[in-house]
Amino acid sequence: MAAKPIKLLNVEDLTICETTAEMITKARADGVELFFDRATAIKPCPIGEQSACCKHCSMGPCRMNTKSPYDRVGVCGATIDTIVARNFGRMVAAGTAAHTDHGMAMLELFRDVINGKVKDFSIKDPLKLFEIAESLDIVTEGRELKDVALDLYRELERTYVQVEGELPMMKRVPEKTLELWRKAGIVPRGAMREIMEMMHRTAMGVDQDYENIMLQISRTALADGWGGSMVSTDISDILFGTPAPLEIEIDMGVLKKDKVNIIVHGHEPILLEAMLLSAADPEIKEMAKDAGAKGINLVGMCCSGLDVMSRHGLPHAGNFSSTEAVLVTGAIDAMTVDIQCIKQDLKRVADFYDTPFITTNYRAKIEGALHIPLDEQNPLVCTDEIILKAIARFQTRKKPIQIPRKKTTGVHGFSYEYINYMLGGSFRGGYTPLNENIINGRIRGVAGVVGCTNPRSKHDYSHVELVKELIKNDVLVLQTGCSQMALAKAGLTGPDAAALAGDGLAEVCETVGMPPVLGLGACVDNSRILIAASEMVKTGGLGESLADLPAAGCAPEWMSEKAIAIGHYFVASGIYVVFGHTLPVTGGTRFEKLLFEGLEDLGFGKWAVADDPLEMARLMIAHIDKKRSQLGIDK
Ligand code: CUV
Ligand code: SF4
C-alpha cells in the first residue's frame, strides 16, 4: 500500500521569512522534502507533548492520563508529578551538558593556546583576560600574561569539574540572589557533578518528591548559566575578541552567484575562525580565482554565525529553520557543520543539490556525510580542504541556481558595557545610564527575547510580533540566538527601528543612535544577559536581587533541550520566563503549579507559557509593571 500523501500547508502559513518561503516553494517544485512538511505529517504524541509518560525502566513505559493526571500511577508507583519533574530534569541536564561540553572545548583550546600547542590562534583580548582574572581574585599586578592566563585556566576549569564548594563565577551574582541559593542549597558545583546527580536522582526509584527534584533542576541549570555557558562566552571573547557593534548583512541575499559560497553552521567559533584564516590564504584565493570565481564568500548560520559575525562583520544567511532552505538555492558550494542543531536531513538535501556536506567534530558525525576532523592544534588542514572541495564544486555547478534577493543590514554585537557606554555620561545618584533611564521611566523595563525557531509554529512570526509589541511599550529588547536573526531579517536591528518604539524608548534610542533591539550573540551568550542583569542590580536603584528587576525573558518558538536549560537558569536566577506554544509539563499538576507560581513565592522567577505573541508581550509587560510598582518607580 502506498504511503498516504502529506497534505501540504500553504507556504504563507509556514514562515514569514520571504527567502525561506521562496525556497520552500522551490523545494516542493524540485521534489525535495523539507522539515516544514514533515512537521505537518508527524503529529506530536499528545502524551509525550505533555511529558506524561515515563520510560525510565522496563516495567514501563508508563503512560499517564493527561486529562485526569492523578487517575493512576506508574507500575513502580511514580506519580505524575514525579514523572513530569524527572523528564524536565533530564531535559535541563541534556541542555546543560551541551553548553558545558562546548564551553569545556573552548577552555581546552584556551589552555593549548597558552601553552603554545595551538599556534593558529592567540589571545586577542588580553584586557578582558585581566579583567576576568581580577574579578575572580587572581593576582595580576606585575605578572606575565601567560602566568595569569594559566591561573585563570585552572580557576575556570573548576566550573566543570569542581566537586565541593561554590563555582568561581558566583562572585558575579548579586549578594541577595546568592543568599537565596545558599538557603535553598542550590549553589552549583561543577557542571559535571550536577549533571551526574541530576541523572542519578531521576533514575527509577531514586528522587520521588517533585519539590526535591526541583532543587536539583535549579542547581543543574545554574551550573549552565553561571558556569558552562558563561565561561564559554568569556573564553571566546578572550581568544577571538570581545564583539563591538558592527553593521552586518543578513538573509539569503548575501549569497553570491559569482563567488564560492560556503555556509558554516553549528556552535563552536573555532571552525568559522579557522575557515576565515583559510579563506584569507593568498594561495587559496588564487585557486578560487583560477576556478573562475570572484572570491570566497564565507557565510554563517545559526549560532556559529552569530558568534563570529560581530567579531568580523561576516554576513549571515539565516536561522535554524532556514538551514535546509538555503541549500535549495543550489548556490551553496559547501556546507560545513560542527555541533548542535544540525538536522540529519541536511545531508540528503545537500546531496540533491550536489553540495558537499562536511562534518568536522568527532562528537557529531552524520551517516553518509563526509567527515573531515578539525584538529585544534592544526585546524587549517581541515578548513583548507573544505574550501578546496567548495572550489571544486563551484567549478562543476550543475543545477540552476536561484538566489533570493532579499538581505537586510543591521547592527549587532552589543554587550552590557557597550550599552552603558552608548547611553553615555553619569547620572545623578551615580546610577548608570541604563538604570537611570529605567528609573525615570523612559525605558519601562528590559526583555530578553531569545531562542530557536520551530516548524511547529510559523517561522519567525512570534519573535517579530512579540518584539514589536515590547518596544512599542518602551521595553528595551536584548536578543540572542535564532531570535536575533528573525528580528534582523525583519529590519528591527537598525537604528531606524526606533521609529517603531514607544516615545520614551525612541527618545533614548534616537539620542544615542542605537536600535531598540540589541543583538548580543549566540545562545551561550545568554550569559551576557545574566551579567547585564547583575550589573543593573549592583549599580543600584533597581532593587537588591535579580528577582527585583523590571525584566522578563521569552523564547517564543523554542525547540531544543538547551532552551529548557536556559529558561530554567533564568527562572532560578529570579527572572520571569515565558515560553511560546508549548512546555513539556502536564496541565493541572502540582509540578506545573510549582513552575508557574510556587517558585516565585520562594523568591525565584517563574515560568509561563503562551501561544500568541501579543499574549506573551502582555504577560511580560504586566510582570515588568508589577516589579516597577514594587520598586516604587511606577509613576
Ligand atoms: Ni544555539 S539552540 S535553534 S542554533 S537558538 Fe537556534 Fe542557537 Fe535554538 Fe539552536
Ligand atoms: Fe513506569 Fe516507574 Fe518504570 Fe517509570 S520508573 S517506567 S513510572 S515503572
Query: Any idea what the CATH number is for the domain that residue 307 is in?
Result: 3.40.50.2030
Tell which one of 57, 71, 84, 199 to mutate to probe ligand 2, the residue whose CB is within 8 A of the most ligand atoms.
Answer: 57
Over residues 262-284, mean pLDDT: 97
Q: Which of these three, 369, 395, 421, is where a domain ends?
A: 395
- For ligand 2, is residue 63 a contact (CB within 6 Å)? no
Cis bond upstream, residue 455 (ω within 30): no
- For ligand 1, is residue 318 a contact (CB within 6 Å)? no
User: Which residue's CA is the closest to the ligand 1 atom numbered 3?
Assistant: 452
Query: Which ligand is nearest to the Cα of residue 208, counting in written order?
Result: 2
- For ligand 2, is residue 73 a contact (CB within 6 Å)? no
Lowest mean per-residue pLDDT among 70-79, 536-545, 549-558 = 536-545
Number of H helices, E strands in the chain: 27, 15
Over residues 480-487, mean pLDDT: 98
The predicted pLDDT at position 424 comes to 74
What's the mean per-residue pLDDT of the chain?
95
- Where b means 16+ CB within 10 Å and e means fewer, 60-93 reads bebbbebeebeeeebeeebbbbbbbbbbbbbbbb
Residue showing cell 527509577: 204
Over residues 149-163, mean pLDDT: 96
Ligand 1, residue 306: give the atom nearest the CA.
Answer: 7
Query: Do 232 and 265 fall within a single domain?
Result: no
CA neighbor of 337 nearest in space, from 242, 262, 231: 262
Lowest mean per-residue pLDDT among 4-8, 46-50, 494-498 = 4-8
Query: Do 194 and 269 fall within a single domain?
Result: no
The predicted pLDDT at position 106 comes to 96
Question: What pairing do the DSSP bridges indicate for beta strands 517-521 and 475-480?
Answer: parallel
Lowest mean per-residue pLDDT among 25-29, 170-174, 509-513, 590-594 = 509-513
User: Which residue's CA is the closest to the ligand 1 atom numbered 1?
Assistant: 523
List phi, psi (to 5°) of 634.
Answer: -100, 45
User: Which residue's CA is the closest to the ligand 2 atom numbered 6?
Assistant: 60
Lowest mean per-residue pLDDT among 129-133, 306-310, 353-357, 582-586 = 306-310
CATH number of domain containing 152: 1.20.1270.30
Over residues 134-146, mean pLDDT: 96
Query: Do 260 and 385 fall within a single domain?
Result: yes
Query: Do 384 and 454 fall within a single domain?
Result: no
Considering its fold, how many domains does the chain have in total? 3
Tell which one of 59, 87, 206, 207 to mutate to probe ligand 2, the residue whose CB is within 8 A of the most ligand atoms.
Answer: 59
- pLDDT, one tens digit per residue, over 384-411 is 999 999 999 999 998 899 999 999 999 9
Please return the burial class of 237, using the count of CB atoms within 10 Å of its CB with bins 0-12, 13-18 and 19+.
Answer: buried
Confidence at 245, pLDDT banded by 50, 70, 90? very high
pLDDT of 422 over the 90 cut: no
Domain assignment of residue 200, given as a range = 80-240
Domain-located, residue 415 = yes
Lowest mean per-residue pLDDT among 31-35, 261-265, 418-422, 557-561 = 418-422
Confidence at 5, pLDDT banded by 50, 70, 90? low
The predicted pLDDT at position 425 comes to 60
pLDDT of 567 over the 50 cut: yes
Query: Which ligand is nearest to the Cα of residue 318, counting in written order?
Result: 1
Over residues 334-359, mean pLDDT: 98
Distance 199 CA to ligand 1 centre (A): 24
Residue type, 219: R
Residues ≥6 apart with Cβ < 8 Å to 141: none
- For ligand 1, is residue 567 a contact (CB within 6 Å)? no
- pLDDT, one tens digit per residue, over 185-243 is 999 999 999 999 999 999 999 999 999 999 999 999 999 999 999 999 999 999 999 99
Q: Which of these three, 372, 395, 418, is where a domain ends?
A: 395
What percent of the chain lies above the pLDDT cut of 70? 98
Domain-located, residue 261 = yes
User: Which residue's CA is the closest to the ligand 2 atom numbered 5?
Assistant: 204
Domain-located, residue 544 = yes
Locate 304 and state its grid cell: 556559529
Q: Is the dihedral of CA 494, 500, 504, 505 positive or negative?
A: negative
Confidence at 4, pLDDT banded by 50, 70, 90? low
Query: Do 571 and 476 fall within a single domain?
Result: yes
Query: Do 577 and 451 fall within a single domain?
Result: yes
Confidence at 7, pLDDT banded by 50, 70, 90? confident
Domain-located, residue 8 = no
List phi, psi (to 5°) of 237.
Answer: -65, -45
Query: Which ligand is nearest to the Cα of residue 75, counting in written order?
Result: 2
Query: Do 534 and 619 fall within a single domain?
Result: yes
pLDDT of 11 over the 80 cut: yes
Confidence at 1, pLDDT banded by 50, 70, 90? very low
- For ligand 1, is residue 452 a contact (CB within 6 Å)? yes
Distance 564 CA to ligand 2 centre (A): 23
Domain-located, residue 403 = no
Query: Do 232 and 327 fall within a single domain?
Result: no
Query: Which ligand is nearest to the Cα of residue 77, counting in written order?
Result: 2
Residue-by-residue DSSP string for 151-166: HHHHHHHHHHH--SS-
The predicted pLDDT at position 399 comes to 86
Distance 341 CA to ligand 1 centre (A): 6
The predicted pLDDT at position 3 comes to 54
The predicted pLDDT at position 512 comes to 86
Ligand 2, residue 62: give the atom nearest the CA.
Answer: 1
- For ligand 2, is residue 204 a contact (CB within 6 Å)? yes
Tell which one of 51, 58, 62 to mutate to probe ligand 2, the residue whose CB is within 8 A of the most ligand atoms.
Answer: 62
Locate 63 and state its grid cell: 503512560
Instruction: Report the alpha-carbon distance of residue 371 to residue 358 in Å, rounded.
Output: 6
pLDDT of 426 over the 80 cut: no
Domain-located, residue 18 = no
pLDDT of 257 over the 60 cut: yes
| Residues 332 and 298 sit within 8 Å (Cβ to Cβ) | no
The predicted pLDDT at position 6 comes to 63
| Residues 340 and 562 sit within 8 Å (Cβ to Cβ) | yes
Query: Do 436 and 294 fall within a single domain?
Result: no
Q: Which of these three, 395, 420, 441, is where a domain ends?
A: 395
pLDDT of 428 over the 70 cut: no
Domain-located, residue 23 = no
| Residues 295 and 260 sit within 8 Å (Cβ to Cβ) | yes
User: Which residue's CA is the closest to the ligand 1 atom numbered 9?
Assistant: 341
- For ligand 1, is residue 267 a contact (CB within 6 Å)? yes
Q: What is the pTM of this model?
A: 0.97
The phi-psi region of residue 86 (left if phi > 0; otherwise alpha if psi is between -120 and 50; otherwise beta) is alpha
Query: Do 560 and 477 fall within a single domain?
Result: yes
What ipTM did this prediction achieve? Answer: 0.95
Domain-located, residue 615 = yes
Query: Do 384 and 439 fall within a single domain?
Result: no
Ligand 1, residue 524: give the atom nearest the CA.
Answer: 1
Query: Do 164 and 276 fall within a single domain?
Result: no
- For ligand 2, is residue 56 a contact (CB within 6 Å)? yes
Measured at the CA of 578, the angle between CA 573 and CA 581, to 5 degrees, comes to 145
Over residues 470-480, mean pLDDT: 98
